[in-house]
Structure 1
Amino acid sequence: MASIRLASHTKDLGDGFMVRRLLPALAARAVGPFVFFDHMGPTEFAPGLGLDVRPHPHIGLATVTYLFEGAITHRDSLGTVRDIRPGDVNWMVAGRGIVHSERSPQAERAAGHRLHGIQTWLALPLADEDTLPDFVHVPAESLPEIRATGVHLRVIAGDAFGQTSPVPVCTRTLYVAGEIDTAAHMEVPLEHEERAVYVVSGSLTADGEPLNPGDMLVLPPRPVRLRALEATRFMLVGGDALDLGPENTADHPRHMRWNFVSSRQERIEEAVQAWSRQDAAAFPPVPGETEFIPYP
């Protein structure tokens, strides 16, 4: 994949909660297994207010939530109830179908709080698209870290720089959170088939090309040197290119509609119909929740 520059576009998810969306984009539908990339916040919630993403379904993907600030309570149709806090990883495999909600914990909601993080979807390999749903929480202290002069990296999922995350990924994955001091530099080696760098805050150059907050650069197939123009927070994403079914091409490796990802349009239509009729066999309810997001 050649070097491609992606600019984020802003979306309001409701109640003024803003995200910067990078993937999918016309220029790059996916980077490795990553088919969806949202930078959420930073958003300041006044006391009594918070995030309220009502129960909604997924198929054919794994979701990863990674926070810089704040907390989210995850509930799902497996019966999971788990708070995620900065540095932790929530890895949810939708497979044949899962339903989940995301809300601000009661303590944070009562006190008022900031929320800032990254949410991504990884399309599952063809063999795993209809696997059983699953959920794994990995605490921050379990993630490998790499430190060098002026550089701090945390391997969120997959492998990078000789370290492997305990998150049980389904295909070769690159997902790293990085912080780099002013004028410090590092090399992104050619260890993965597809790679991209995203600037969360600050600014840096990639082989001399300047990147600012909200910019993502899909990297060319060679080692790339990053140099910080100021203290910068960034993400590295990528991995093996997605395997392709008979309905897919390299430019469109998966079909995506609403919260559903699949190699087959027919499978997505089945999921749409099942959710629309609230089929509990396909999409069991989330214990403790009475609301849901209708199919738009």
Structure 2
Amino acid sequence: MIEMVIEQRRRSLGGGLEVGRVLPFAKRRMVGPFVFFDHMGPLDLGPGVDRSLDVRPHPHIGLSTITYLFSGEIMHRDSVGSVLPVRPQEVNWMTAGRGITHSERFEKARAEGDHLHGIQAWVALPQADEETDPSFSHHEGDDLPQWSDAGVHGQLIAGSAYGLSAAVRTHSPLFYAHLEMEPGATAEIPTDHAERALYVATGAVEVDGAVYEAGKMLVLGRGASKVRATLHSTVMVLGGEPIGERFLYWNFVSSSQDRLAQAAADWRAGRMKLPDADDQEFIPLPDFPPPPVASPEAAR
């Protein structure tokens, strides 16, 4: 059973970089703890691409971010000292907790050109972990189990599914996997979580007798458990246990609107540390107003 179909909406991030925004959606804010889901590219970047395409240093609270690439490279720098490229089928898992800042720059593309294609997702932290210390971890190889079966080639990105577990440390029960499916191949969708979805990044798939093309997220009910590729398809499967309502303002996620207002005030006042290796510029707070502060103490 399919509960909802969400079609990506094109959004400009500035500098010529466009994404397909999937989550949050007005009628479906989250799937399990997944609170944000963007499809980047596919986009050809020529040598010498302008620096305006880069994502300058900016802040986060209350979430973990995962940029997962099918192709291309993005250079990551953050305020806990990490300097590392994001490369295809590797995982750079950044947990913002009480606050982190980072930048994402297209340095490989600037030097030699590149083909960018991937997914950026945010996972909201449980309320008890929203103010945890910020951290960063890199994973590749055996940390991210792979399998092949009857035309389905899979990689587990985070959590547990398909009888496997990734080494990425998560804060709530979830799963996130990348499936490459040959035409006619059928894949099971894990059923042991309350909320599940699949996103068709390329190709087309059939679920419950209907065909869905690239750019669509299918939010699944408990009965839906199989997906069949009608073309060679790249499919992301994700889900987990609900963690409660979350509020979003710009790059901040929290169970408290007061906390969002505090984070906005901290960024505006320069109280959030920039990456040591990238501290010469930053993205200013947007013009649209932050949520109101319910108590004076929340803005301190």
Amino acid at match of 1:5: V
Q: CA deviation at 1:140?
A: 4.2
- Pairing 1:242-257 to 2, within 5 Å after superposition: 242=243, 244=244, 253-257=245-249
Mapping for residues 83-122 of structure 1, pairs under 5 Å: 83-105=85-107, 107-122=108-123
What is aligned with 1:292? 282
Alpha-carbon distance between aligned partners in 1 of 2:36 and 2:140, rounded to the nearest angstrom: 23
Between the aligned partners of 1:165 and 1:13, the Cα distance in structure 2 is: 31
Residues 141 and 45 from structure 1, CA distance in 2 versus in 1: closer, same or farther, beyond 3 angstroms? farther
CA 1:57/1:189 → structure 2, altered by over 3 Å: closer, same or farther? Answer: closer
Instruction: Note the 1:50-61 alignment, pairs <5 A.
Output: 51-61=53-63
CA contact (8 A) 1:4 1:27 kept: no
SS of equivalent to 2:38? strand
Q: Distance in 1 between matches of 2:233 and 2:172?
A: 29
Q: Give 5+ residue unaligned stretches, structure 2.
A: 287-300
Distance 1:176 1:223 in 2: 17
Q: Which residue in the other structure is 2:43 paired with?
A: 43
Tell me by how many angstroms 1:141 deviates: 4.6
Displacement, 1:157?
0.4
Q: CA RMSD in A?
A: 1.3
Please name the residue that 1:155 is paired with: 156
CA distance in 1, matches of 2:141, 2:4: 31
Per-residue deviation, 1:108: 3.5
Q: Residues 214-229 of structure 1 correspond to what in structure 2 (within 5 A)? A: 214-229=215-230
Cα shift at 1:288: 2.4
Matching residue within 257, 262, 268 for 1:270: 262
**Which residue matches 2:68?**
66
The answer to whether the 8 A contact 1:92-1:136 is kept is: yes
Distance in 1 of aligned mates of 2:110 and 2:76: 15
CA deviations 1:250-289 (Å, max 9, x no partner) are xxx100000000000000000000100111xxx1121122
* Contact map agreement 1:90 1:138 (CA 8 A) in 2: yes
Most deviating of 182-191 and 265-274:
182-191
> What secondary structure sits across from 2:260 in the alignment?
helix
Identical counterparts, % of pairs: 47
* Counterpart-to-counterpart distance in 2, 1:238 and 1:59: 21
CA shift, 1:64, in A, is 0.5
For 1:237 and 1:185, locate their aligned partners in 2 and report how far apart those are by CA, in whole Å: 17
| Residue in structure 2 matched with residue 259 of structure 1 by the alignment | 251
What is the count of residue pairs matched by the alignment? 283
Q: Give the Cα–Cα distance (whole angstroms) in 2 for the partners of residues 120 and 223 of structure 1.
A: 23
Q: Normalised by the size of structure 2, how large is the TM-score?
A: 0.92
Question: Would you say the 8 A contact 1:189–1:223 is kept in 2?
Answer: no
1:110: how far off? 1.2
Partner of 2:208: 207
- Secondary structure of the structure 2 residue equivalent to 1:275: helix
Runs of 4+ in 1 over 6 A off after TM superposition: none
SS in 2 for 1:40: strand
